[in-house]
Amino acid sequence: MLKGWHGWLGTFTGVALLTVAVLPLAALAVWVLARRHRVTGITPARRTALAEVAIVYGTVPWVWMILLPGPGAGSVPGRVSLVPVHDLLTIIAAGPLRATVQIVGNLLVFATLGFFAPIRFAPLASVPRILALAAGCSILVEVAQYVLRLDWVSSVDDVLLNAAGAGLAALASRRWWRATATAPSRRPRAAVPRG
């Protein structure tokens, strides 16, 4: 049983359970935002609201879990691995279960961002832009792990897997990109004087 704030906010299990618990609030936020978008003329209102809420709901818990301190946090110096694929091979050698959990977890960190950002923001509707966005976000997280001395290895392989997951998710949502790009302008148009 989870006890106290640390149990809910400071453990992987707690963050996962809290994420499930706030799902109804996320659904309510989509409904409220969709109504607001309809009033302000943003179209498609429901898809835009869903994308906005999903980007936050599907990304924040993963980043939170990545930034949870490890057992030696604060007492061990930050560690960096800049050799591509080195850590990946080490994880694979540790066993198939650990490798699967670690690789799939890293692919999912920014997958929601990769899926919904091109739907919500037309300028991001390209795989290279999503890869760059996810890599940039991942680099920020890895730097935070190092600077905060959280007892995790800041690895280039994590950046590569996080970006790859976002890129694959972006490809999965590609059919909805055109709807965003061809939707009417999100800003009210100024009246054009006649004559």
Distances (CA, A) of 48 to 3, 8, 110, 193: 37, 30, 18, 31
pTM of the model: 0.87
% of the chain at pLDDT higher than 90: 80
87 and 155 Cβ atoms separated by less than 8 Å: yes
| Confidence grade of residue 177 (pLDDT, cut at 50, 70, 90) | confident
| Confidence grade of residue 180 (pLDDT, cut at 50, 70, 90) | low
How far from the centroid of its chain's Cα atoms is residue 110's Cα? 3
Query: For the ranges 61-70, 140-149, 160-169, 175-184, which has the lowest average pLDDT?
Result: 175-184
Mean pLDDT of the chain: 91
70 and 151 Cβ atoms separated by less than 8 Å: yes
Three-state SS at 127: helix
Distances (CA, A) of 88 to 55, 59, 83, 114, 187: 27, 22, 10, 22, 46
**Which whole number is the average pLDDT over 29-56?**
96
pLDDT value of residue 7: 87
Q: Has residue 32 got a pLDDT over 80?
A: yes
Q: Has residue 21 got a pLDDT over 90?
A: yes
pLDDT digits (tens, 9 = 90+) for 145-163: 999 999 999 999 999 999 9
Query: For the ranges 11-20, 133-142, 147-156, 180-189, which has the lowest average pLDDT?
Result: 180-189
Q: Has residue 22 got a pLDDT over 80?
A: yes
pLDDT value of residue 169: 98
pLDDT greater at residue 100 or residue 195: 100
Q: Has residue 83 got a pLDDT over 90?
A: yes
Domain boundaries, the chain: 60-182
Q: Has residue 194 got a pLDDT over 90?
A: no
